[in-house]
C-alpha cells in the first residue's frame, strides 16, 4: 500500500497491476477489499456514507470483504436467510443467522484477514420483509483484531486453489449494527422504520455486475499467461524426428501442436479486446445508472453474465490444453500452469455460477427475440436476431471478415430462434411458463454461447477495421482474428451447417484455411506471446522463461524441493527400515520352516 503511494499509483488499473506483481502466484488477501468492498461502498453508499467509509477503506484503516453466500444458498440471492431486523427503539439493525443453512460460507478473507464485511441480508422493518440489502458490519475489534462478541467466525478449510485467500464462515447471533450501516444509496430505512424502496430492486446486485466485468479481463490474463508459457516452451522443447534421421524437431513445428496452441493465442487477443470493450460498455451504462437512467441496465446485466461465463469456461479449457501441450513438465508446479488453472477455475463458479449466468443472458435474449418478432427496435448488439435466416453464406477463399461475422450472426440468430420456438411450443402444449422455460434451457445455453461468441468475433473485427494500426501489425492481428473466427466455425461446424448455411465447398475452404493460418502464424508465434510482456516474476514458470533456459531452471527448481533437504528421509527410519527388517526376519523364519 505504502509502496503504491510512493510510486504515485493513482489509477485502480495501475494499483491492480502492482498488486498482481507483488503477489504473482497467490491471489492477494486484499483482492476483495480493493476489488469489491471499497467500490461497493462507493457505488451503493449514500454520498455521506461514501465520504465517511471510502477513505478508511482506501487507506486500509478498514479492511473488508463481501459476505453474501451462505451454506444453503449462493446462486439464489432471494433465498438467503440471514436477517437484518430494524429496531426503531435503538435505531439499530439486528443481524441473525436463524438456521444452520443461513451461516455465511465462502466469503473471501473473512476467516482471519478482514475487520469489516458487506453483508447481504433479508431486511425486515415494521414486521415486513423487503428483500436482500447490503449492510456494513464490523466483525473484528479494531484494536486487537479479536472477533466481535455475537459472531462466530472461522476458516472453511483447504480448497482446489485460492490458497492466498482465507475463505471463511460467519454466524450472527442477534448482532446489532447502527441503522446508518445499511447502504442507503438506492433503498432506505427511515428512523421511524419506514422503508423507501429503490427504483429497481436489482440495483443492490450492482457489485456482482461490476466484478463479472472484471472477470472477463481475468479470463484474458490467465489464458494468455498459460499461452505464453506453452508457446515459449514449444519453441524450446525438441522431441522426436519430424524428418527421418534429422535432428529432433521443435514441438511447435508439429501441426497438432500448432492446432492446440495458436487458436488459444488468437483467443487471448480476442478476449483482451472483448474485456476492453466490455469495460467501456460497463463504464458508460453504470454511469447512466448512477445518474438514475436505468434503461440499459438489463442489457449490461445480460452482457456481463454471458461474457463472464463464456470467457471463463473457454479460458479454463484452454489453460488445460496449454498444460497438456507441455507434456510431463506441464504437470509440475515448476511450469506455473497448475496454479494459473487452480486460481481461475473457481471463476466458473463464483460471482455467479456460469450456467446460471448464461441463463440470465438467455432470458434477456428470449425477451428480445419476441420484441424483434413484433418489429420493435432492438439494442444494436442484439439486432442480429432479426437476420433473414433464409440467406446462405457468401464465404469465399479469402474468408473475409464480413462473411465470418455474417456466419456468426446467422448461427446465433438461428439458435436463439430454435430455443425460443421450443419455449413457445412448450407453452402451446399447456406447460406453465416456468416449465416451458426450464424445458428449453439446454438449447438456450447453446444459443447464448453462440451469442457471446458473435460478440467477441464482431468486436475483434470492428477494432481491426476502426483502429489505426501499422500495416505489418494489422496483418498479423488480422491473421489472429481470422484464425479465431475460422477455428470457432470448424470446431462448431454442426451449429453453422444445421440449416445448410454453408455449402460443401465452403466447408472445405474453412478446413483448408484453418491449417493455412497455422503456417502463417508460426513465424510470429513467439513474438506474439512476448508482446504480452509478462515478466518472468509474474509467470513464475521454468518453462515460460524469457531466456528459454528451461532445463537449467527445472534442475535448480528440483534441487530446491524441500524433500532434498536431507539425503535420507525420516520415513526410512520410521517405516521402510522396520518393514524391511520385519520382512527379513519373516524370511529367516520361513527358511527355517
Ligand atoms: C441469478 C440471479 C441473477 C437471480 O436473481 P433474482 O433476484 O432471482 O432475479 P430473477 O432471475 O428472478 O430476475 C428478475 C429480473 O431481474 C433481472 N436481474 C437479475 N439480476 C440483475 C442484475 N444484477 N442487474 C440487473 N438486472 C438483474 C433479471 O434479468 C430479471 O429481469 P426481467 O426483465 O427478465 O424480469 C441472482 O440470484 C444472482 O445474481 N445470483 C448469483 C450470485 C452471485 O453472483 N454471488 C456472488 C457472491 S460474491 C463472490 O462469489 C465472490 C467471489 C470472490 C472473488 O470475486 O474474488
Ligand atoms: C473460490 C470461491 C470464492 C468465493 N468467494 C466468495 C465471496 O467472497 N463472497 C461470497 O459471498 N461468495 C463467495 N463464493 C461463493 C460463490 O459466490 C457461490 O459458490 C456461487 O455463487 C455459486 O453458488 P452455489 O455455490 O450456491 O452453487 P449452486 O447454485 O448450488 O450450484 C450447484 C448447481 O446448481 C445449478 N443451478 C443452480 N441454480 C440453477 C438454476 N436456476 N437453473 C439451472 N441450474 C441451476 C448450477 O448450475 C450448478 O450446476 C466463492 C466461491 C468460490 C468457489
What string of H, E and C letters represents the secondary structure of 307-360?
Answer: HHHHHHHHHHHHHHHHHHCCHHHHHCHHHCHHHHHHHHHHHHCCCCCHHHHHHH
Q: Is residue 574 part of a domain?
A: no
Q: Using CA positions, which residue lies closest to atom 52 of ligand 2?
A: 350
Owning domain of residue 122: 2-198
Nearest ligand to residue 202 Cα = 1
Does 209 sit in the ligand 1 pocket, CB within 6 Å? yes
159 lines ligand 1 (CB under 6 A): no
Q: Is the CB of 356 under 6 A from ligand 2?
A: yes
Is the CB–ligand 1 distance for residue 69 below 6 Å?
yes
* 357 CA closest ligand 1 atom index: 1
Q: Cα dihedral angle (479, 480, 486, 489), rounded to 10 degrees?
A: -170
What per-residue confidence (pLDDT) applies to 17?
A: 76
Question: What is the CA angle 117-122-123, rounded to 5?
Answer: 95
Whether residues 324 and 414 share a domain: the answer is: yes
Same-domain status, 329 and 219: yes
Q: 106 CB under 6 A from ligand 2? A: yes
Q: Which amino acids are annotated catalytic?
A: 351
Residues 112 and 241 reside in one and the same domain: no
Residue nearest to atom 14 of ligand 1 (CA): 202
Q: Report whether 521 contacts 262 (CB < 8 A).
A: yes
> What is the rounded distance in angstroms from the CA atom of residue 167 to the CA atom of residue 158?
9
Percent pLDDT > 90 in the chain is: 92
Residue 108 is assigned to a ligand binding site: yes
Collapsed DSSP state (helix, strand, coil) of residue 249: strand
Ligand nearest to the CA of 366: 1
Q: Which atom of ligand 1 is nearest to the CA of 76?
A: 37
* pLDDT, mean of residues 464-468: 94
- Could you report the per-residue pLDDT of 93-143, keeping only the tens digit for each? 999 999 999 999 999 999 999 999 999 999 999 999 999 999 999 999 999
Residue 1 reports pLDDT greater than 90 = no
CATH number, domain of 368, equals 1.20.140.10
| Spatial contact of 230 and 534, defined as CB atoms under 8 Å apart | no
Q: Where is the domain boundary, 528, 559, 584?
A: 528
- The whole-number average pLDDT for the span 293-307 is 96
Which residue, 180, 198, 216, sits at the end of a domain? 198
In a shared domain, residues 106 and 124: yes
Same domain for 10 and 73, yes or no, is yes
Q: Which ligand 1 atom is nearest residue 203's CA? A: 24
Atom of ligand 1 nearest to the CA of 349: 50
Counting from 1 in the atom list of ligand 1, the atom nearest the Cα of 69 is 47
Task: Please give the average per-residue pLDDT across 442-447, as a whole number.
Answer: 98
Q: Which of 25-34, 262-271, 397-406, 497-506 has the lowest mean pLDDT?
A: 25-34
In a domain, 587, yes or no: no
Substitution site in 352, 379, 448 for ligand 1 pocket (most atoms within 8 Å of beta carbon): 352
Give yes or no: residues 54 and 187 share one domain: yes
Decide if 156 is inside a domain. Answer: yes
CATH number, position 164: 2.40.110.10
Q: How far is CA 96 from CA 211, 280, 541, in A?
A: 27, 39, 46
Tell me which residue of 252, 136, 127 sits closest to 194, measured CA to CA.
127
359 lines ligand 2 (CB under 6 A): yes
H helix runs in 9-142, sequence order: 12-22, 31-32, 38-44, 47-58
Domain total of the chain: 2
In a domain, 548, yes or no: no
Å from CA of 216 to ligand 2 middle: 18
Is-contact 365 302, C-beta < 8 A?
yes
Residue 463 domain flag: yes
Nearest CA to ligand 1 atom 40: 75
Query: Does the global pTM surpass 0.90?
Result: yes
φ, ψ for residue 361 (rounded to 5)?
-70, -40
326 within some domain: yes
Please indicate if the annotation marks 430 as binding a ligand. no
Residue nearest to atom 42 of ligand 2 (CA): 356
What are 330-343's pLDDT values in tens digits? 999 999 999 999 99
Question: Ligand 2 pocket check: which of 30, 164, 353 to mutate, most ligand atoms within 8 Å of Cβ?
Answer: 353
Mutate to test the pocket of ligand 2, among 349, 437, 442, 448 (most ligand atoms within 8 A of CB): 349
Quick one: 185 and 244 in the same domain? Answer: no
Residues 131 and 249 in one domain: no
Ligand 2: residue whose CA is nearest its atom 25: 74
Ligand 1, atom 47, residue with closest C-alpha? 351
pLDDT at 5: 75
Q: What is the pLDDT of residues 177-187, one digit of tens each?
A: 999 999 999 99
Q: Whose CA is nearest to atom 43 of ligand 2?
A: 356
Torsion of CA 392, 396, 402, 403, to 10 degrees: 30
Q: Is 483 in the pocket of ligand 1 (CB under 6 A)?
A: no
Residue 271, pLDDT > 80, answer yes
Query: Are β-strands 92-96 and 128-138 bridged in parallel, bridged antiparallel, or unpaired?
Result: unpaired
Same domain? For 219 and 336 the reply is: yes
Q: Grade residue 4 by pLDDT with cuts at 50, 70 and 90.
A: confident
User: In this model, does residue 589 exceed pLDDT 60?
Assistant: no
SS3 (DSSP) at 469: coil
Q: Is 201 in the pocket of ligand 1 (CB under 6 A)?
A: no
pLDDT at 586: 73
Q: How many CA atoms lie within 13 A of 235 on its CB side?
A: 21
Helix (H, G, I), strand (E, B) or coil at 89: coil
Task: Please state, rounded to an integer, the average pLDDT across all residues of the chain.
Answer: 95
> Is residue 95 one of the residues assigned to a domain?
yes
pLDDT at 7: 81
The residue whose grid cell reads 461497493 is: 40
Burial class (CB in 10 A: 0-12, 13-18, 19+), 259: middle
Are 502 and 460 in a shared domain?
yes
Tell how far the Cα of 205 is from the centroid of ligand 1, in angstroms: 6
Assigned domain for 512 exists: yes
CB of 186 within 6 A of ligand 2: the answer is no
Asked if residue 102 and residue 245 are part of one domain, the reply reads: no
Which triple of cell numbers denotes residue 206? 450492482
**Is the shortest distance between the CB of 350 and ligand 2 below 6 Å?**
yes
pLDDT for residue 591: 52
Does residue 215 share a domain with residue 192?
Answer: no
Q: What does the pLDDT look like over 9-65, one tens digit per residue? A: 777 777 777 777 777 778 888 989 999 999 999 999 999 999 999 999 999 999 999
Q: Which of 154, 177, 198 is the last residue of a domain?
A: 198
CB of 170 shorter than 6 A to ligand 1: no
How far, in Å, from the CA of 74 to the mean position of ligand 2? 5
Amino acid at each position: 500500500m505504502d509502496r503504491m503511494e510512493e510510486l504515485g499509483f493513482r489509477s485502480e488499473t495501475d494499483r491492480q497491476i502492482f498488486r498482481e506483481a507483488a503477489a504473482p502466484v497467490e491471489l492477494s488477501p486484499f483482492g476483495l477489499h480493493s476489488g469489491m468492498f471499497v467500490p461497493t461502498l462507493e457505488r451503493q453508499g449514500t454520498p455521506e456514507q461514501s465520504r465517511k467509509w471510502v477513505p478508511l477503506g482506501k487507506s486500509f484503516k478498514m479492511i473488508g470483504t463481501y459476505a453474501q453466500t451462505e451454506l444453503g444458498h449462493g446462486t439464489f440471492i432471494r433465498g438467503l436467510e440471514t436477517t437484518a431486523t430494524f429496531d426503531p427503539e435503538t435505531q439499530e439493525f439486528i443481524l441473525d443467522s436463524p438456521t444452520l443453512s443461513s451461516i455465511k460460507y465462502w466469503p473471501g478473507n473473512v476467516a482471519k484477514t478482514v475487520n469489516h464485511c458487506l453483508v447481504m441480508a433479508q431486511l425486515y422493518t415494521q414486521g415486513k420483509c423487503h428483500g436482500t440489502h447490503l449492510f456494513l458490519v464490523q466483525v473484528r475489534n479494531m484494536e486487537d483484531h479479536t472477533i466481535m462478541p455475537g459472531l462466530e467466525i472461522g476458516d472453511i478449510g483447504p480448497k482446489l486453489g485460492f490458497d492466498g485467500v482465507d475463505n471463511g464462515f460467519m454466524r450472527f447471533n442477534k448482532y446489532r449494527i447502527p441503522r446508518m450501516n445499511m447502504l442507503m444509496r438506492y433503498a432506505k430505512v427511515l428512523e421511524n422504520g419506514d422503508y423507501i424502496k429503490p427504483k429497481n430492486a436489482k440495483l443492490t446486485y450492482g457489485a456482482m455486475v461490476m466484478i463479472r466485468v472484471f472477470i472477463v479481463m481475468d479470463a484474458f490474463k490467465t489464458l494468455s499467461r498459460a499461452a505464453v508459457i506453452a508457446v515459449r516452451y514449444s519453441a524450446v522443447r525438441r522431441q522426436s524426428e519430424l524428418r527421418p534421421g534429422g535432428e529432433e524437431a521443435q514441438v511447435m513445428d508439429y501441426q497438432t501442436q500448432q492446432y492446440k496452441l495458436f487458436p488459444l493465442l488468437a483467443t487471448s487477443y480476442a478476449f483482451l479486446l472483448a474485456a476492453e470493450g466490455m469495460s467501456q460498455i460497463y463504464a458508460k451504462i453504470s454511469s447512466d445508472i448512477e445518474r438514475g437512467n436505468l434503461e440499459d441496465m438489463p442489457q449490461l446485466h445480460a452482457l456481463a453474465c454471458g461474457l463472464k461465463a463464456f470467457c471463463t469456461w473457454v479460458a479454463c479449457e484452454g489453460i488445460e490444453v496449454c498444460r497438456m501441450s507441455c507434456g510431463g513438465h506441464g504437470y509440475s508446479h515448476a511450469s506455473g500452469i497448475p496454479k494459473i488453472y487452480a486460481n481461475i477455475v473457481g471463476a466458473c463458479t463464483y460471482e455467479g455460477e456460469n450456467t446460471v449466468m448464461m441463463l440470465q443472458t438467455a432470458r434477456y435474449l428470449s425477451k428480445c427475440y419476441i420484441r424483434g418478432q413484433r418489429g420493435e427496435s432492438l439494442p444494436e448488439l442484439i439486432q442480429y436476431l432479426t437476420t433473414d435466416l433464409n440467406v446462405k453464406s457468401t464465404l469465399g477463399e479469402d474468408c473475409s471478415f464480413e462473411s465470418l461475422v455474417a456466419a456468426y450472426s446467422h448461427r446465433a440468430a438461428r439458435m436463439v430462434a430454435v430455443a425460443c420456438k421450443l419455449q413457445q411450443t412448450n407453452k402451446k402444449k399447456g406447460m406453465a411458463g416456468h416449465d416451458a422455460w426450464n424445458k428449453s434451457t439446454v438449447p438456450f445455453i447453446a444459443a447464448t454461447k453462440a451469442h457471446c461468441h458473435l460478440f467477441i468475433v464482431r468486436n475483434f473485427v470492428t477494432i481491426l477495421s476502426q483502429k489505426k494500426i501499422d500495416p505489418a501489425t494489422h496483418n498479423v492481428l488480422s491473421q489472429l482474428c481470422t484464425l479465431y473466427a475460422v477455428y470457432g466455425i470448424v470446431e462448431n461446424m454442426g451449429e453453422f451447417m444445421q440449416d445448410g448455411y454453408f455449402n460443401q465447398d465452403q466447408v472445405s475452404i474453412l478446413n483448408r484455411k484453418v491449417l493455412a493460418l497455422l503456417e502463417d502464424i508460426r513465424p510470429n508465434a513467439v513474438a506474439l506471446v512476448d508482446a504480452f510482456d509478462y515478466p518472468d516474476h509474474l509467470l513464475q514458470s521454468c518453462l515460460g522463461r524469457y531466456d528459454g533456459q528451461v532445463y537449467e531452471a527445472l534442475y535448480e527448481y528440483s534441487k530446491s524441493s524441500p524433500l532434498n533437504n536431507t539425503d535420507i528421509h525420516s520415513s526410512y527410519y520410521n517405516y521402510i527400515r522396520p518393514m524391511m527388517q520385519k520382512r527379513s526376519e519373516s524370511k529367516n523364519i520361513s527358511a527355517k520352516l
